[in-house]
Amino acid sequence: MFEVNRLAKVSHDPENSRSPYLFSGIDVHIQQAERISLIGASGQGKSTLLRTLALLTTPDEGKMMFEGASSSELGPRQWRKHICYVAQQAVMLPGSVEENLSTASRLHGYSFDRKLAEELVHTSGLTGLDLSKNARELSGGEMQRVALIRSMLLRPAVLLLDEVTSSLDTMNTRAVEQLLQEWHAREGTTMIWVTHELEQAVRMSERVWFMSGNTILEDAPTKEFFREPSTEAARTFIGFKKEEVQS
């Protein structure tokens, strides 16, 4: 369904790195709906990788295919209908929440499904949110969920989720996790989550991509990865994270 071969992005600050690439040699093969978590240290290029997969930034090398068509054949507009990025920092368009939710749909040539939008607003923990409210006056956590719902309404085959619960408290994080679990089951959406919370990776994915050394160093089933990572880099990373959780 979604296939990426030898994807690379040249680093724009190579003097600060041992490699001329921010990442290279990225191979991705997704045959059916999956839930993948993308983990790794800060600055590894996780956000840039997701942005590249969504064609929000151009790859410097490699090839991407979605259902038999290459990204260059489809072009960014068509491509982003299928593979949709939800940013780490939500950006609201001017206007109300409802306008934010409906504009994205209309821009992509879909009619606005108000009923579904209201259902998603409710299940993401935003019950009672006034849709006529100015979107730029929302809290960070509210914006994050509106941005997520805005993308879900496009019903992409692949949702690229960049720390989408980072501004939320535990209760709302769980609401969003549940919402996305149900969405995955109901719509068959593939989800690639960037998260710094290893417990979230365990809860939300059956496959892990561990980014280190300018590439996806490990691609493994989640349980296997956390039970026995194959690389020293991953063992160190998991070890550090465990200490963080305990301290």
Ligand X SMILES: Nc1ncnc2c1ncn2[C@@H]1O[C@H](COP(=O)(O)OP(=O)(O)OP(=O)(O)O)[C@@H](O)[C@H]1O
Among 7, 8, 22, 64, binds ligand X (CB under 6 A): 22
Among 24, 47, 52, 189, binds Mg ion (CB under 5 A): 47
Please give the residues from 55 up to 94 whose contact with ligand X meets the rule CB under 6 A. Answer: 88
Does 9 sit near ligand X (CB under 6 A)?
yes
Does 186 sit near ligand X (CB under 6 A)?
no
Question: By C-beta, is 118 or 219 nearer to ligand X?
Answer: 219
Question: Smallest distance from the beta carbon of 139 to ligand X, in angstroms?
Answer: 20
Single-letter amino acid, residue 137: E
Does residue 84 contact residue 160 with C-beta atoms inside 8 Å? yes
Q: Which does 205 bind (CB under 5 to 8 A by kind): ligand X, Mg ion, none?
A: none
Among 28, 45, 82, 104, binds ligand X (CB under 6 A): 45
Question: Smallest distance from the beta carbon of 80 to ligand X, in angstroms?
Answer: 18
State how far the Cα of 220 lies from the Cα of 226, in Å rounded to an integer. Answer: 9
Among 24, 37, 44, 144, binds ligand X (CB under 6 A): 44
Does 52 sit near Mg ion (CB under 5 A)?
no
- Judged by CB under 6 A, the stretch of 11-19, 71-79, 150-158, 221-229 that binds ligand X is 11-19
- Judged by CB under 6 A, the stretch of 41-49, 91-99, 179-187, 212-220 that binds ligand X is 41-49
- Judged by CB under 6 A, the stretch of 8-16, 107-115, 170-178, 239-247 that binds ligand X is 8-16
State how far the Cα of 240 lies from the Cα of 118, in Å rounded to an integer. Answer: 41
Question: By C-beta, is 188 or 213 nearer to ligand X?
Answer: 213
Q: Which does 172 bind (CB under 5 to 8 A by kind): Mg ion, ligand X, none?
A: none
Does 18 sit near ligand X (CB under 6 A)?
no
Q: What is the DSSP string of the chain?
A: -EEEEEEEEE-S-GGGSSSSEEEEEEEEEE-S--EEEEE--TTSSHHHHHHHHTTSS--SEEEEEETTEEHHHHHHHHHHHHEEEE-SS--PPSSBHHHHHHHHHHHTT----HHHHHHHHIIIIITT--TTSBGGGS-HHHHHHHHHHHHHTT--SEEEEESTTTTS-HHHHHHHHHHHHHHHHHH--EEEEE-S-HHHHHHH-SEEEEEETTEEEEEEEHHHHHH--SSHHHHHHHHHHHHHHH-
Question: By C-beta, is 99 or 197 nearer to Mg ion?
Answer: 197
Single-letter amino acid, residue 124: S
Give the residues lining the site for ligand X (CB under 6 A). 9-13, 22, 42-48, 88
Give the residues lining the site for Mg ion (CB under 5 A). 47
